[in-house]
Structure 1
Amino acid sequence: MNRPQREATARRIMERSVPSVPPELYGEVVRRGGRMLRRRRAARRLLWLLLATVIVAFVVWALMVEPWVEPPSETTPPLTGW
């Protein structure tokens, strides 16, 4: 079969039957879908909470350590000629 024949056959199959979910599976599908959405929502909230915690920790660290300030000199030049 070449490509146009395969496409025509696939179209005929799709147009011939209307997709439907058997009634005994509908409740299970809805339950699983709801559970999947709740898990995704919980994971998304957890990741946002983790991101916010990391940002707060970084800001607190930066305010305490002040990495943008030059550290004080460890040695002083000798004072001669006073």
Structure 2
Amino acid sequence: MNRAERETAVRRIMERTPPRVPPDLHADVLRRGGRMLRRRVLARRLMWLLLFAATVAFVVWAVTARPWVEPPSQTTPPLTSW
């Protein structure tokens, strides 16, 4: 069977009978889709909350620890009385 014959056979099969969908499929799909949407929204909100909490924690740590300031040297005594 060459390509043209296969295409015509497939077209005949597809045009012969309309696809049949189970009657309760629509309600099931709506229920599952709504559940997936709620989960996705909840996950997105939790991620934003986690990002906000991490940012606040970093800012508080940076303000209290001040990592950009060089610590005073402890190895040499201060130079006094020349």
Asked if Structure 1 and Structure 2 have the same fold, meaning a TM-score greater than 0.5 normalized by the shorter chain, the answer is: yes
| Distance change in 2, residues 1:22/1:64 (3 Å) | same
**Alignment match, 2:38:** 38
Q: Tell me, what secondary structure is at the counterpart of 1:23?
A: coil
**Alignment match, 1:8:** 7
What's the TM-score, normalizing by structure 1?
A: 0.72
| Distance change in 2, residues 1:23/1:74 (3 Å) | same
For structure 1, the 5+ residue unaligned runs are none
When structure 1 is superposed on structure 2, of 66-75 and 52-61 the one drifting more is 66-75
Aligned positions, number: 81
- State the Cα deviation string for residues 46-72 of structure 1 (Å, max 9, x = none): 011001100110010000000000101
**Alignment match, 1:24:** 24
Give how far 1:10 is off. Answer: 9.1
**Alignment match, 2:67:** 67
Q: Tell me, what secondary structure is at the counterpart of 2:24?
A: helix
| Distance change in 2, residues 1:9/1:69 (3 Å) | farther
What's the TM-score, normalizing by structure 2?
A: 0.72
Aligned counterparts of 2:13 and 2:41: Cα–Cα separation in 1? 34
| Distance change in 2, residues 1:72/1:80 (3 Å) | closer
For structure 2, the 5+ residue unaligned runs are none
RMSD after superposition: 3.1
Give how far 1:78 is off. Answer: 5.8
**Paired-residue identity, %:** 62
